[in-house]
């Protein structure tokens, strides 16, 4: 997991990867204490990060990949790490949607209550290369210390967006061209029969009750995960992994 420390007397933490860092730069550049960039990268995405950082007066520090890896404990930093105010975690959906290159892959969690499940979902989303995880502010666990620990670093690499009105957020995604697919036991088609290519948001419900009615009605379509054993359902993080990696498979990644 990314380390934490102090900067100018304020508690800080590290975030990394282009989606997380670009979203922070565009939303709250003043909350970035310093930006570390790989001295071996000068591609378009890195130039975009540097351009925004320079315009916002963010201090930029060039570093080699070994130093970057030591800072966050993983090679998946993509060559860009930001030290930010530890008290600042809020992200906006519009900021995330604007930073996505190519077809969006989003995981939406409607009312997950268990922080262990949330942390596991973040890990799955990171492994699948999802661009963000979106959840409602109310009736959900939130990104607390337990969820961050279980996520094992994914809370710092996968943007986590909380929204006041989930149905409205889904409509915002749809207006941006994202196809919204919900999961429900009674759906006619299985997730393996659905088309999961193109800009996509996968919506999973809470551990017990599934998606709320309005969330369900806002989805473009519903799919189910086939169950062939004696149990009726699987853990939400397992379900997230099944759906996300089926989308990854269909995309040929």
Question: pTM higher than 0.75, yes or no?
Answer: no
Instruction: Give the pLDDT confidence score for residue 205 in this predicted structure.
Output: 93
For residues 55-74, average pLDDT: 92
Q: Which domains does the chain have, with CATH numbers?
A: 4-85 (3.30.1330.30), 93-251 (3.40.1280.10)
CA nearest 14: which of 24, 3, 30, 26? Answer: 3
Which residues does 223 contact at the CB level (< 8 Å), separation at least 6?
181, 182, 183, 184, 187, 189, 190, 191, 193, 194, 243
Distance CA 103, CA 223 (A): 20
pLDDT at residue 4, rounded to an integer: 54
**Could you give the CA distance from residue 131 to residue 117 in angstroms, rounded to a whole number?**
19
**Which residues are annotated as part of the binding site?**
205, 225
**By mean pLDDT, which of 134-143, 167-176, 230-239 is the weakest?**
230-239
C-alpha–C-alpha distance, residues 208 and 110, integer Å: 11
Contact 173, 212 (CB under 8 A): no
- Going by the annotation, the residues of the binding site for S-adenosyl-L-methionine are 205, 225
Q: Is the pLDDT of residue 10 over 60?
A: yes
Which of 1-5, 41-45, 138-142 has the least mean pLDDT? 1-5
In terms of Cα–Cα distance, which of 106, 136, 111, 137 is closest to 122? 106
Secondary structure (3-state) at 22: helix
Residue 1's pLDDT band, with cuts at 50, 70 and 90, is very low
Residue with tokens 């990060």: 49
Contact predicate 67/112, CB 8 Å: no
DSSP-assigned states of every residue in 50-74: HHHHHHHT--EEEE-HHHHHHHHTS
Minimum mean pLDDT among 14-23, 96-105, 145-154: which range? 145-154
Q: Which residues pair with 82 in a beta bridge?
A: 15, 35
Of 141, 160, 134, give the one whose Cα is nearest residue 215: 134
Would you say 106 and 200 are in contact if contact means Cβ atoms under 8 Å apart? Answer: yes
């Amino acid at each position: 997991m990314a380390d934490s420390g102090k900067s100018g007397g304020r508690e800080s933490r590290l975030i990394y990867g282009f989606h997380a860092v670009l979203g922070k730069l565009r939303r709250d550049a003043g909350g970035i204490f310093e930006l570390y960039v790989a001295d071996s990268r000068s591609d378009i995405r890195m130039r975009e990060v540097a351009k925004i950082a320079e315009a916002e007066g963010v201090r930029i520090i060039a570093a080699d990949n070994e130093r970057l890896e030591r800072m966050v404990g993983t090679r998946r930093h993509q060559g860009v790490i930001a030290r930010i105010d530890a008290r600042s975690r809020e992200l906006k959906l519009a900021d995330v949607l604007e930073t996505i290159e190519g077809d969006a892959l989003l995981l939406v969690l409607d009312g997950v209550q268990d922080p262990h499940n949330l942390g596991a979902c973040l890990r799955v989303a990171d492994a699948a290369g999802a661009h963000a995880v979106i959840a409602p502010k109310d009736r959900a666990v939130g990104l607390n210390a337990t969820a961050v620990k279980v996520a094992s670093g994914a809370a710092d690499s996968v943007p986590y967006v909380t929204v006041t009105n989930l149905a409205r957020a889904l409509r915002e995604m749809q207006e941006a061209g994202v196809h919204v697919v919900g999961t429900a036991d009674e759906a006619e088609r299985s997730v393996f029969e659905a088309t999961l290519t193109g800009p996509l948001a996968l919506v999973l419900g809470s551990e017990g009750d599934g998606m709320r009615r309005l969330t369900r009605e806002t989805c473009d379509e519903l799919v189910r995960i086939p169950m062939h054993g004696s149990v009726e359902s699987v853990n939400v993080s397992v379900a997230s992994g099944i759906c996300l990696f089926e989308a990854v498979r269909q995309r040929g990644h």
